[in-house]
Amino acid sequence: MNYKTQMEAAKKGIITNEMMLVSRKEKIDEKKLRDLIASGKVVIPANINHKSLSAEGIGEGLRTKINVNLGISGDCIDYSKEMEKVDLALKFGAEAIMDLSNYGKTNTFRTQLIERSPAMIGTVPMYDAIGYLEKDLLDIKAEDFLTIVEAHAKEGVDFMTIHAGINKRAIECFKRSKRLTNIVSRGGSLLFAWMEMTGNENPFFQYYDEVLEILREYDVTISLGDALRPGSINDSSDAGQLSELIELGNLTKRAWDKDVQVIVEGPGHMALNEIAANMTIQKRLCHGAPFYVLGPLVTDIAPGYDHITSAIGGAIAASSGADFLCYVTPAEHLRLPDLLDVREGIVASKIAAHAADIAKGIPGARELDNKMSDARRRIDWEEMFSYAIDGDKAREYFESSSPSEKHSCTMCGKMCALRTTNKILAGEKVEFCSEKLA
């Protein structure tokens, strides 16, 4: 193999096995896909040590992908429950899973996850710093952070969130902006605290070339983290967010020069009217690199329903150019999500991604919708359930209130519009008074 990364292969004109697989999945010409990867507009996160991976592409002209976050915390330490969430994510076809565990030694769970998961695996090495190194934050040295990055890369992680953009310049902009909600990124806040306590530059920024060398060795895609993403609609599009984005654009080009694939992360919380413009700005400042958004959440007053606020923002973001959606569950801002929360979050995110793909005109995006509509016209319930994003839930609703007439539901009964129209078009009479109404 005379290349290290998918990007290097693409630049050399090589079509890899991963590219061929993504080409078939996306119904895109192999050479066109290769050229998009060479330009940085598409990535295929595929660590050489992730042997169970079924490669996926993220970026321009491809289906919008979704990511599912999971992992333990100090208050909820049950890896078996997290593995159930993994199974649920795979069942619903999530293309990526991020292990955000932030307590104790997490590598055993992560290794098992990589061994069994065909989905891309992502991590945030900064979360693992204290548990992995067994040091308090102030005692961690700059070189220690690189040790964690290398450990995750060797294990087979396909993409890593690296908060390299929150340097001293960006922090000055953040401080001047006088935010309502300050820093809401967990990794970003830890780096901010480390920098303020030590007086040092962000080690991921200062030693960025060394980070890239590690990622290149294992073909890990760097997901440039938005440490200063807005955590409230009041703070969106402020100087802190945009100053970091400018830094991320420069870091994107530096990574491409090393043949490291790049994803850029985005907001956050953001009012509806700002989303489309932010997607355009990101693509411009970051040279068309794939954009990965958390939400955006379009209002701050819906705790318990933030999978909905996120899906609204995610659909607008993806239809305006975002390529990768991070799911948000009803438990966001409240607690670690349980299985039901995860299910609701996945489905909401899948709906947003699919709606955006229809709007973007992604080839084949409407196929299932047309099949569903045809099945509805024929009132074929089993076929409808088979096309639904969550067929089990659809069936549960239907069967919980059974109609007397099988070609209807209990909303309209025999007055079902489709049933009436089908009968008339078939030359049959529609009669109600001679029959008992449902």
Asked if residue 271 belongs to a known ligand binding site, the reply is no
Asked if residue 49 belongs to a known ligand binding site, the reply is no
Asked if residue 250 belongs to a known ligand binding site, the reply is no
Asked if residue 269 belongs to a known ligand binding site, the reply is yes
Asked if residue 265 belongs to a known ligand binding site, the reply is yes
Which sign, positive or negative, has the C-alpha torsion 332, 337, 340, 343? positive
Tokens of 394: 């659809």
Asked if residue 395 belongs to a known ligand binding site, the reply is no
Asked if residue 284 belongs to a known ligand binding site, the reply is no
Asked if residue 185 belongs to a known ligand binding site, the reply is yes
Tokens of 196: 């303020």
- C-alpha 160/C-alpha 323 separation (Å) is 17
Asked if residue 76 belongs to a known ligand binding site, the reply is no
Asked if residue 387 belongs to a known ligand binding site, the reply is no
Q: Which region, left, alpha or beta, applies to residue 219 given φ > 0 means left and ψ of -120 to 50 means alpha?
A: left
Asked if residue 229 belongs to a known ligand binding site, the reply is yes
Asked if residue 313 belongs to a known ligand binding site, the reply is no
Asked if residue 438 belongs to a known ligand binding site, the reply is no
User: For the chain, what is the largest distance between any 2 Cα atoms, rounded to a whole number of angstroms?
Assistant: 85
Asked if residue 407 belongs to a known ligand binding site, the reply is no
Asked if residue 226 belongs to a known ligand binding site, the reply is yes
Asked if residue 227 belongs to a known ligand binding site, the reply is yes
Asked if residue 24 belongs to a known ligand binding site, the reply is no
> Could you tell me the CA-to-CA distances from 341 to 68, 73, 175, 204, 346 in Å, in that order?
11, 16, 35, 33, 9
Asked if residue 218 belongs to a known ligand binding site, the reply is no
Tokens of 143: 């070189």
Instruction: Count Cα neighbours of 386 within 13 Å in the Cβ-side half-sphere.
Output: 7
> Could you tell me the CA-to-CA distances from 263 to 14, 146, 260, 345 in Å, in that order?
21, 19, 10, 22
| Binding site listing for Zn(2+) | 269, 333
| Binding site listing for substrate | 69, 98, 127, 163, 185-187, 226-229, 265, 292
| Binding site listing | 69, 98, 127, 163, 185-187, 226-229, 265, 269, 292, 333, 409, 412, 416
| Binding site listing for [4Fe-4S] cluster | 409, 412, 416
